[in-house]
Amino acid sequence: MISRRSFCKKSLLIAGGLAIPLSCLELFDPKRLLAEKDEKGARWVFLVDTRKCVGCGFCVKGCKVENEVPYDANVTRTWVERYVVTKDGKTHIDSPKGARDGFPNKGIDIGHGKLEEIKDEDIEKAFFVPKLCNQCDNPPCVQVCPVGATYQTADGVVLVDRKWCIGCGYCIMGCPYGVRFFHPVFHVAEKCNFCYHRITKGMQTACVDSCAFGARRVGNLRDPEDPVTKVIMTERVNVLKEEYGTKPQVFYLGLSKEVK
Amino acid sequence: MKSHVWRPLVVVLAVIALVLVAREVLVPADFGIGARGYMYGWHRAGNEQQWKDVKVKYKTAAFCKDCHPDKYDEMKESPHRNINCENCHGPALNHPDDPKSLTIDRSRELCARCHTRLPYPNSGRGVMKGIDPKTHNVGLDCVTCHWPHDPRKEGHKR
Ligand code: SF4
Ligand code: SF4
């Protein structure tokens, strides 16, 4: 006769013994890894021409509406910075509300509703720099995500799984470009995803379509005939914070040394 | 099975089994290693499709062209030719099925985004036609005098 105690022990052992190999195989299945690899697709990249941007902010407005980022909350997936370098060597930077309403003011926004007036004759140079997620090739935000909610697709775009994100905020801390924030409605990490629903349908991103000045362009780096790829390959483009090793894939034309 | 060595081992195995069984139940079938390997691709594969399925709101001027060719052609001849209709008319969304979904912005502030003069010598903004909104016909909408589809023409009559 088998005792109740030993029956319980043995069945637990067997159940455990069965569960271990089943689930362990699931974790590291090299066939599955290979099957999901797609080398032929696109590698989406972005090209920003800072010389063309006039700071109208239509891109920020378009992005907010297209991607349902609450319009009045002070968060945006993409934003535009203004740099005014004065003759005394100082750099004045602002981006009121991410430039959602553009820059309809000469004064530099220094917070608390105050504007710093700069005399026209003191200006050495001034320009606008649009910023967005760099869809890094080595995205630290993905590395630090403990649950696999932030991940990178085969075509290079870093996406956030809203169902899977636990809101721990590691990715917000991990991104050296400060492009991430908490979505005020969904309460999960939010970021630019190159309008994944548009580019995968053959459209341009909402910010590219909104820009009347051609300051923003999206392209496919794996297509040598792509006009954006040609510019990146043949002209003097720059990226932000190259020293971090994140391999950013948003390329800038006409970047100035004041921009970090 | 009576030995004091076996007893804790059974407990450990039971805990492992419990965790793995729970994992089997809780983790969706499509959760796995994506194209970019374990470090970058670890995710729920179905989420890629969910992002692709997000509804497109801005449909571009090419979409407006079919029903409003006159407006489209007028725009294309004007200095405003590179501006998409939806920058001022709002995203097309369900238009034309639901005409009310268009949110036309005729405000002064909209024009001021580009036409507030900023004295930036080496930026495109510096060479744009600009005004000082503090002194230029304060209180009036720009479209009163300037026709937005072609700013060289006269605007709406009051
Ligand atoms: S820019 Fe930041 S959020 Fe975007 S991929 Fe790189 S690390 Fe991640
Ligand atoms: S829409 Fe174009 S020109 Fe206007 S702020 Fe954005 S990038 Fe610059």
- Compute the nearest-CA separation of A39 from chain B (Å): 9
Given B52, B119, B133, which is nearest A120 (Cβ)?
B119
Identify the pLDDT of residue B157: 65
* Nearest residue in A to B31, CA atom: A148
Identify the pLDDT of residue A31: 47
A5-9, A122-126, A151-155: which range is least confident on average?
A5-9
CB A175 within 8 A of CB A145: no
CA A73 to ligand 1 centroid distance, Å:
21
For residue A100, give the ligand nearest its CA: 2
Identify the pLDDT of residue A35: 44
Identify the pLDDT of residue B122: 87
Per-residue pLDDT at A151 exceeds 90: yes
Identify the pLDDT of residue B158: 53
Structure ipTM? 0.87
pLDDT greater at residue B2 or residue A145:
A145
Given B10, B21, B86, which is nearest A13 (Cβ)?
B10
A57 and chain B in contact, CB less than 8 A: yes
Given A57, A143, A161, which is nearest B113 (Cβ)?
A57
Of residues A108, A106, A78, the one with CA closest to residue A90: A108
Per-residue pLDDT at B88 exceeds 50: yes
Task: Indicate which atom in ligand 1 lies nearest the CA of residue A178.
Answer: 2
Three-state DSSP at B92 gives coil
Identify the pLDDT of residue A158: 97
Contact A206 B58 (CB under 8 A): yes
Mean of pLDDT values over B100-112: 91
Amino acid in position B49: Q
Per-residue pLDDT at A37 exceeds 80: no
Contact B51 A193 (CB under 8 A): yes
Structure tokens at A51: 């010389």
The residue whose C-alpha atom lies closest to atom 2 belonging to ligand 2 is A211
- Compute the nearest-CA separation of B102 from chain A (Å): 13
Alpha-carbon distance values, A59 to A216, B112, B131 (Å): 9, 15, 22
Place of tokens 């005729």: B106
Mean of pLDDT values over B59-80: 94
The residue whose C-alpha atom lies closest to atom 8 belonging to ligand 2 is A53
Per-residue pLDDT at A30 exceeds 50: no
How many CB pairs (< 8 A) connect A and B?
Answer: 192
- Compute the nearest-CA separation of B30 from chain A (Å): 11
Determine how many CB atoms are found less than 10 A away from the CB of residue A104.
20
Per-residue pLDDT at A24 exceeds 60: no
- pLDDT digits over A187-227, tens only? 999 999 999 999 999 999 999 999 999 999 999 999 999 99
User: Is ligand 1 within 6 A of the CB of residue A194?
Assistant: no
CA A185 to ligand 2 centroid distance, Å:
26
CA A180 to ligand 1 centroid distance, Å:
8
Given B21, B54, B133, which is nearest A19 (Cβ)?
B21
The residue whose C-alpha atom lies closest to atom 6 belonging to ligand 2 is A59
CA A111 to ligand 2 centroid distance, Å:
22
Give chain A's end-to-end CA distance (angstroms, integer). Answer: 77
CB A215 within 8 A of CB A78: no
User: Is ligand 2 within 6 A of the CB of residue A56?
Assistant: yes
CA A76 to ligand 2 centroid distance, Å:
14
Average pLDDT, rounded, for chain A:
91
CB A60 within 8 A of CB A80: yes
Per-residue pLDDT at A34 exceeds 50: no
Identify the pLDDT of residue A20: 67
A206 and chain B in contact, CB less than 8 A: yes
A31-35, A57-61, B56-60, B117-121: which range is least confident on average?
A31-35
User: Is ligand 1 within 6 A of the CB of residue A133?
Assistant: yes
Contacts of A105 (CB under 8 A, 6+ apart): A115, B116
Q: Which pLDDT band holds residue B16 (cuts at 50, 70, 90)?
A: very high
User: Is ligand 2 within 6 A of the CB of residue A199?
Assistant: no
Give chain B's end-to-end CA distance (angstroms, integer). Answer: 97
- pLDDT digits over A89-130, tens only? 999 999 999 999 999 999 999 988 899 999 999 999 999 999
pLDDT greater at residue B33 or residue B54:
B54
Place of tokens 């670890």: B42
Dump the DSSP string for chain A: ---HHHHHHHHHHHHHHHHHHHHHHHHT-HHHHHHT--SSS--EEEEEETTT-----HHHHHHHHHTT--SSSS--SSEEEEEEEETTS-EEEE-GGGGTT----SSEE-STT-EE---GGGEEEEEEEEE-----SS-HHHHH-TTS-EEE-TTS-EEE-TTT-----HHHHH-TT---EE-TTT-SEE---TTHHHHTTT---HHHHH-TT--EEEEETT-TT-HHHHHHHHS-EE-S-GGG-----EEEES--TT--
Per-residue pLDDT at B71 exceeds 50: yes
Identify the pLDDT of residue A128: 97
Given B20, B34, B121, which is nearest A151 (Cβ)?
B34
